[in-house]
Amino acid sequence: MSPIRSATAALTSAVLAATLTACQLGTEERDTSPIIVAADLELSGPGAPLGKTYRRALELKAEQLNSSGALNGRQIELRVKDNRSDVSESLRNVTDFSTDPQVSAIVMGGCNECAMGAVETVNGQQVPMVALAGADAIATPATERRYVFKLAPNAPDSAEALAVELRRNKIDEVAVLRGDDAYGKEGLAVLEATLDKADIEVQDVKTVRATDTDVSSQITALAEYEPEALVLWAPAEQAGLAAVAAREADFEGALYFDASAAGELFLGTTAQAAENATMVFTQTMVIDDVIATTPAKAARRQWFQDYTARFGGYHGSSSFAADALQLIADAAMRSAGSAGEPDREGIRNVLETSQLDGLSGPIRLTPDNHSGLMPQALTTLVARNGRWHLAG
């Protein structure tokens, strides 16, 4: 054998030996397994308008992440089930998801009772869950909800922002229409306490269900007190109905919408009734009114444009679902799971200390606070010429 061939053979043997040694020492190839994220959403029943928005947002965000190259060869795979706006069906879905070892995390939709009902199951199965519903009881106390996180406007922050606007406009008396779910009950308590500190009287309160298609009786009763303003702390569909009913009842006062009342950017059939109404919500809803002076604002504007281009309009709550998926993807990439077997505990640990200048605004999660949307994310919007705009 020639010296050159002998050297080549020796080198080949050395490389092969090194490769075998590396394998024997447990060196693994790059993980290219999918990151499987389950979603329990209201795709039928009274919660369907919001549930379908969340599904669209999750699908668009997954597509963007998968094509970005940021996942180092991995792909987001969504597994979506319809809970039909029913708590029992939701729990069945969550049980199925949580007992599937391939699922990295679960995203819950806008049903407060569904998310609250899932807490025991996800804690028991040790699977991270990010809820897009607003009730404080979903994620509090954090020590008893180790695997539960929430990404939606918080009632105390919304109440404080509404009080500031009411006080600024020298309004002393209001009446309130609230939803009959957990967020509506919690919201009324914090709203009354906050308004009391601001010396604003709550003259009367009426309740609306998510299934109600006529709220005229509640609004007529509230209008009889002749309050200076109506606060609509209810889902978007019922808040829109209430705005129309208020004008039909010849109510001439101001309308104030809580963040839970946010829906489509363009107001459609409620445009005339809601003209000059005020709403507390995130800036992303009206990011086309904002000059993109930071990378975060530029990203929000791009999301707004991408969502609008894909679906023909913009829904304010879409950014919460997109941010939830971003948080889960980031946590999955930073955890130490093996191929096909996600490290749920690692994902949970990363989520609990996550910080993100998200599409919805600043998000901060800590071991003591599993509800990540910061108060600074909320701003004041006003309805003008059939759509929401940044106030001022």
The torsion angles phi and psi of 148, rounded to 5 degrees, stand at -110, 130
pLDDT (0 to 100) of residue 31: 79
Closest Cα to residue 231, out of 154, 289, 159, 300? 159
Topology (CATH level 3) of domain 35-152+297-374: Rossmann fold (3.40.50)
**Correct CATH for 155-276 of 3.40.50.11810, 3.40.50.2300, 3.10.110.10, 4.10.91.20:** 3.40.50.2300
Residue partners of 27: CB distance under 8 A and separation at least 6: none
Q: What is the pTM of this model?
A: 0.91
Instruction: For residues 262 and 237, give the distance between their C-alpha atoms in angstroms, rounded to a whole number.
Output: 9
CA angle 380/386/390 to nearest 5° reads 20
Res 339: pLDDT? 59
Tens-binned pLDDT, residue by residue, of the chain (392 aa): 444 344 334 433 433 333 333 334 444 567 788 999 999 999 999 999 999 999 999 999 999 999 999 999 999 999 999 999 999 999 999 999 999 999 999 999 999 999 999 999 999 999 999 999 999 999 999 999 999 999 999 999 999 999 999 999 999 999 999 999 999 999 999 999 999 999 999 999 999 999 999 999 999 999 999 999 999 999 999 999 999 999 999 999 999 999 999 999 999 999 999 999 999 999 999 999 999 999 999 999 999 999 999 999 999 999 999 999 999 999 999 986 655 679 999 999 999 999 999 999 999 999 999 999 999 999 999 999 999 999 97
CA distances for 304 relative to 61, 152, 208, 293, angstroms: 12, 18, 31, 16
pLDDT of residue 3: 42
Q: Is the CB of residue 156 less than 8 Å from the CB of residue 259?
A: no
CA dihedral defined by 141, 147, 152, 157, rounded to 10 degrees?
Answer: 20
Where in the chain are all domains bearing CATH 3.40.50.2300? 35-152+297-374, 155-276
Q: How far apart are CA 226 and CA 201, in angstroms?
A: 12
Count CB-CB contacts under 10 A for residue 60. 20
